[in-house]
Amino acid sequence: MEHVTKKFLRYVKIHTTSDPSKQTTPSTTEQFNLATLLANELNVLGMKNVKVDKHAYVTATLPSNTSEKIPTIGFIAHMDTSPDFSGKDVNPQIINKYNGSEIILNKTENIVLHPNNFPELLNYKGQDIICTDGTTLLGADDKAGIAEIMCAMEYLINNPKIKHGDIKICFTPDEEIGRGADLFDIETFNADFAYTIDGGEIGELEYENFNAAMASITINGLNVHPGYAKNKMLNSMSIACELNSLIPPSEVPEHTKGYEGFYHLIEIQGNVEKTELKYIIRDFDEINYGKRKEKISQIVNIIQNKYPNAKIELNLIDQYFNMHHKIKPVMHIIDLAKKAMEQAQVKPLIKPIRGGTDGARLSFMGLPTPNIFAGGHNFHGRYEFIPIQSMEKAVEVIINIIILTTTKASNNN
């Protein structure tokens, strides 16, 4: 069986950065390059019903090899990398038997991965670490998940004595820009439940995520020559600064953690005449989430009342919701993943996702889909790294989930 590392290194070389400014799916045609490669590999492996659709979704089935009735499990990962940092010309390097010291990513540019800044490195002393050359992200998010799923499928095909039901896989485009589930065909996928292999450090198991909204605020001011502007000019940028000052200063990402929600100003553009602000609003608790949306509306009303001649427009849109509501009735799939980790001698780390996941949207679409670790750290930047041993454990966990599902079904039949 080809080692998971070899698969991973092949996939990260393919440029698949998504682009939020494009409205097509996929947002970048380069994602088809990886989709086509994966489809070819799936066919060579012997997977069935291998397809790449016109939107670059890759799907395949490993058919059941038993007459017993066993739940159909799905495994999902995404092909795109984040537009937050360059994903082109990725040049990974392997640090064998990491000794706990700093890792020089790029000597010429003095880019260093240091345990003083990233103490989690020390958890992997003695292991083999794949990192970047300091000029790009690595792409472990989520090409590690793809490699792990591919490796698990290859293992099952090469070991037909391991009984299993139908296994469905899907590799999606544009997850990093929030569109990975947009055109996911739940009905055709036809799984009873699924897992995204898209988490971070080894052991992560996540079935709670933020409720999420986007608030776009447009402030229309009035531009007058500054020499004659008294009691006339309405500087939309100054009004925008005043509006932002009403956001609770302790309720922003840099001051929150765990289950704490936040408001986050992600973009501001403007001039005297017109300024646009974009906020994302996040909270795990449904009631608090509603209060946050009310708060942003109240702030806009306060500023509008203070400046009645400045037209202020708020566009507030829900983006996704906490999957916990959909996972709670099927908690056996969480117990299944926990047991699969424990059998692989991995300690389950159950914690909320301080972000979103395709699994959240898929869960609300009717496919319960919690998230399992892929093994990487420091996603979306030059300091991204992944221990090889974490990838190996992810493969083992996927296989264990499948075996445990078969065993449980056999005992119930």
User: Does the annotation count 175 as an active-site position?
Assistant: yes
Among residues 80, 198, 358, 396, the one annotated as catalytic is 80
For 1, what's the count of Cα atoms within 13 Å in the CB-facing half-sphere?
17
Contacts of 366 (CB under 8 A, 6+ apart): 186
User: Does the annotation count 80 as an active-site position?
Assistant: yes
> What distance in Å separates the CA atoms of residue 102 and residue 95, rounded to the nearest whole number?
11
Q: Burial level of 115, CB count in 10 A (0-12/13-18/19+)?
A: middle
Tally Cβ neighbours within 10 Å of residue 86: 17
Look up residue 127 and give its DSSP letter.
Answer: S
Among residues 175, 198, 208, 396, the one annotated as catalytic is 175
Q: Burial level of 272, CB count in 10 A (0-12/13-18/19+)?
A: middle
Q: Burial level of 259, CB count in 10 A (0-12/13-18/19+)?
A: middle
* Site of tokens 């090469």: 158
Tally Cβ neighbours within 10 Å of residue 38: 24
User: Which residues are designated catalytic?
Assistant: 80, 175
